[in-house]
Amino acid sequence: MGQYLAYKARRAGVPFLEVDPAYTSQRCPRCGHTGRANRPDRDHFRCRRCGLAGPADLVAGVNVRDRARSAWVFVTMPVAPGHTPA
């Protein structure tokens, strides 16, 4: 799936960054608590620590977006003069 999305993004001139989706549907984007109990069923999310609730897919999407934003900083970071990128 990632290769297809990367191809489509490249074709449209849109940046593409793949992130690890592990636990994104179990992690609370508000407080960071991660646990299976946060996802009582396939469609629902409810944080056992702070009470944030909503559609599980939406919560997972927010977590994926936040991971991509964090990673994007490193991808676009300028290289210091005199240093070669690894």
Residue 84's pLDDT band (cuts 50, 70, 90): low
Q: Is the pLDDT of residue 61 over 90?
A: yes
74: alpha, beta or left, given left = phi > 0 and alpha = psi -120 to 50? alpha
Position with higher pLDDT, 37 vs 2: 37
Q: Which of 41, 44, 43, 47 is nearest to 28 (CA)?
A: 47
Residue 45's pLDDT band (cuts 50, 70, 90): very high
Residue 74's pLDDT band (cuts 50, 70, 90): confident
